[in-house]
Amino acid sequence: MKIMKFGGTSVGKPHRMHEVATLITKDTEAKIVVLSAVSGTTNALVEIGNFLMERRKEEAKIKIDTLQEKYNAFIQELVSTTDAKHKAEEIIKEHFEFLNIILRISYNEALNKDILAQGELLSTKLFSVYLTEKGIQHQLLPALDFMSIDVNDEPQVDTIRQKLNGVLANYPGFVLFITQGFICRNARGEVDNLKRGGSDYSASLIAAAANASVCEIWTDINGMHNNDPRIVNKTIPIEQLSFDEAAELAYFGAKILHPASIWPAQQYNIPVKLLNTMEPEAKGTLIQEKAASLGVKAVAAKDGITAINIKSSRMLLAYGFLRKVFEVFEKYRTPIDMITTSEVAVSLTIDNDTALPQILKELESFSTTSVDKGQTIVSIVGAEIAVHPNTLKKVFDSLQNIDVRMVSYGGSAHNISILVASGQKIQVLQQLNIGLFGLH
Residues 6-45 contacting Mg ion, CB under 5 A: 7
List, as one string, the DSSP characters of 150-204: -TTS-B-HHHHHHHHHHHHTTSTT--EEEEESSEEE-TTS-EEE--TTTHHHHHH
To ligand ASP, the closest distance from the beta carbon of 181 in angstroms equals 5
Only segment of 19-27, 194-202, 278-286, 312-320 that touches ligand ASP (CB under 6 A): 194-202
What angle, 0 to 180 degrees and rounded to 10, lies between the N-to-C axes of helices 14-24 and 109-133? Answer: 70
337 φ/ψ angles, rounded to the nearest 5 degrees:
-95, -55
List, as one string, the DSSP characters of 18-84: HHHHHHHTSS-S-EEEEE-PPTTHHHHHHHHHHHHHTT-HHHHHHHHHHHHHHHHHHHHHH--SHHH
8 contacts ligand ASP (rule: CB under 6 A): yes
Q: Using CB under 5 A, pick the residue from 49, 181, 197, 198 that binds Mg ion.
A: 197
Site string for ligand ADP, 240-269 (x = CB under 6 A): --------------xxx-------------
Which long-range contacts does 405-411 make (Cβ < 8 Å, 24+ apart)? 405/307, 405/372, 405/375, 406/307, 406/338, 406/340, 406/347, 406/349, 407/340, 408/338, 408/339, 408/340, 410/386
Residue 181's binding partner out of Mg ion, ligand ASP, ligand ADP, none, with CB under 5 to 8 Å set by partner kind? ligand ASP
SS3 at position 143: helix
Residue 225's binding partner out of ligand ASP, Mg ion, ligand ADP, none, with CB under 5 to 8 Å set by partner kind? ligand ADP
196 contacts ligand ASP (rule: CB under 6 A): yes
To Mg ion, the closest distance from the beta carbon of 200 in angstroms equals 6
Size of the site for Mg ion (CB under 5 A): 2
Q: Using CB under 6 A, pick the residue from 118, 123, 193, 219 that binds ligand ADP.
A: 219
Distance CA 375, CA 395 (A): 19
Alpha-carbon separation of residue 94 from 35, 60, 68, 126, 298 (angstroms): 19, 18, 11, 12, 45
To ligand ADP, the closest distance from the beta carbon of 348 in angstroms equals 25
198 contacts ligand ASP (rule: CB under 6 A): yes
49 contacts ligand ASP (rule: CB under 6 A): no
182 contacts ligand ASP (rule: CB under 6 A): yes
Residue 9's binding partner out of Mg ion, ligand ASP, ligand ADP, none, with CB under 5 to 8 Å set by partner kind? ligand ADP
Beta strands in 249-297 (DSSP E): 272-276, 285-288
To Mg ion, the closest distance from the beta carbon of 218 in angstroms equals 11
To ligand ADP, the closest distance from the beta carbon of 8 in angstroms equals 4
Question: Where on the chain is the footprint of ligand ADP (CB under 6 A)?
Answer: 7-10, 36, 197, 219-221, 224-225, 228-230, 254-256, 298, 300
Where do contacts with ligand ASP occur on this chain (CB under 6 A)?
7-8, 36-37, 42, 119, 181-182, 196-199
